[in-house]
Amino acid sequence: MKPAPFDYFAPGTVDEALALLAEHGHEAKPLAGGQSLIPAMNFRLARPQVLVDLNQVAALSYIRANGSGLAIGAMTRQRAVERSDLVARAAPLLAEAMPSIAHPQIRNRGTVGGSLAHADPSAELPAVALALETRFRAKSVTGERWIPAGEFFKGMLETALEPGELLVEIAIPPLPARSGTAFLEMARRHGDYALVGVAAVVTLDASGRCQAARVALLSVGDGPVLASEAATVLAGQAPAAELARAAGERAASRDVDPPSDIHASAAYRRRLVAVLTRRALERAFERAEKGSGERGAVPSDRKPSS
């Protein structure tokens, strides 16, 4: 199918883009990589009257060290993040999750900001952003504000962004010493939306016990789900297979109320939450124990970019 008629603008700067978004308000939709918006328009599930194409806004495409954390421009292609040595060092969880996003062709076009602002509950980046306590920088003609990940995702395809506001950057803080991360997901076929995915971050204290844990799940709700019940199971405990299992079971029974769809029943998704959370935690703990650097361990089994 073809999209409904729309007006098209291709600004060259952030200010021009913000002016257009202010002028057209809720009728306008920013176009980033177009990997979700364009199919939705072609199916006529989305009918924006105005498209503000950000692809000419070169200033929004960057990956920078930000202290010992990371700053990533909203229009940075997913493939650039996947291939970035800086990302691999400073945010190994993000690096590990990237190959699970669809296919290389899609990651070549798809952007970090586009995926986050689209807020698909099955997408990898929102869960990773939530697990890493990412902050979202939103700009409009009236100013800018920083939104924490916990407040950014509001529900199915909904974020805290107001009409006229544009996501321009995300900031990923550094992880404390003795931290480890892991990303795991299961999909029907390679590149499909995950049936369930999990992003795990753990930090050990000086005695080797779990000081902090953040587990974010995808494809189990209206948005990325922070498994806070699972985190309470982990707090203050020494890493062990039994602990990871208990946290996984708790996440499955208390943290999620997953949907049924044609690809997976709710009961099956719950099982995947328990199994994948356990496996991700085991891997994250192992990396936290091995890792010496303050940025957490670089995943040893990260696939080379193809």
Partner 1 sequence: MTVEPGGRVRLATGVGTQGQGHFTAFAQIVAEVLGVDVADVHVITGDTREFHWGTGTFASRGAVVAGSACQAAALRVREKILELASHELEASKADLVLAGGSVHVRGDPGAGITLGALAVKANPLRGAVRPGTEPGLEATAYFGPDRGSTASGVHAMLVEVDPETAQVEIRRYVVVHDCGRVINPMIVDGQIHGGVAHGIGNAFYEQLVYDEDGQLLNASFMDYLLPTATDVPRVETAHRETPSPLNPMGAKGVGEAGAIPTGALFAQAVEDALGRTGLEICEIPLSPSRLFELIEEAR
Residues that bind partner 1 (CB under 8 A): 186, 188-192, 195, 262-265, 267-268, 271-272, 275-276
Decide if 231 contacts 201 (C-beta within 8 A).
no
Q: Which is nearer to partner 1, 143 or 190 (CB)?
A: 190
Query: How many Cβ atoms from other residues are within 10 Å of residue 228's Cβ?
Result: 14
Strands 28-31 and 50-53: parallel
Q: Which is nearer to partner 1, 145 or 263 (CB)?
A: 263
Q: Which is nearer to partner 1, 85 or 190 (CB)?
A: 190
User: In the bound complex, what is the minimum distance in angstroms from residue 119's beta carbon to partner 1?
Assistant: 18
Q: Which contiguous run of DSSP H or E holds residue 292?
A: none
Amino acid at 19: A
Q: Which is nearer to partner 1, 143 or 304 (CB)?
A: 304
Decide if 110 contacts 78 (C-beta within 8 A).
yes
Distances (CA, A) of 160 to 20, 136, 165, 186: 19, 10, 10, 28
Decide if 160 contacts 174 (C-beta within 8 A).
no
Distances (CA, A) of 111 to 4, 9, 132, 276: 24, 19, 18, 26
Which of 120, 111, 226 has the alpha carbon at shortest distance from 170?
111
Which of 98, 99, 58, 94 has the alpha carbon at shortest distance from 76?
58
User: In the bound complex, what is the minimum distance in angstroms from residue 252's beta carbon to partner 1?
Assistant: 12
- Phi, psi dihedral angles at 228 (to 5 degrees): -75, -30
Decide if 42 contacts 1 (C-beta within 8 A).
yes
| Exposure of 60 in the CB half-sphere (CA atoms within 13 A) | 30
Q: Which is nearer to partner 1, 64 or 303 (CB)?
A: 303
Decide if 102 contacts 110 (C-beta within 8 A).
yes
The residues facing 146 across adjacent strands are 137
User: In the bound complex, what is the minimum distance in angstroms from residue 192's beta carbon to partner 1?
Assistant: 7
Q: Which is nearer to partner 1, 230 or 272 (CB)?
A: 272
User: In the bound complex, what is the minimum distance in angstroms from residue 305's beta carbon to partner 1?
Assistant: 16
User: In the bound complex, what is the minimum distance in angstroms from residue 268's beta carbon to partner 1?
Assistant: 4
Q: Which is nearer to partner 1, 39 or 148 (CB)?
A: 39
Q: Which is nearer to partner 1, 10 or 40 (CB)?
A: 40
User: In the bound complex, what is the minimum distance in angstroms from residue 274's beta carbon to partner 1?
Assistant: 9
> Alpha-carbon distance 259 to 225, whole Å?
13
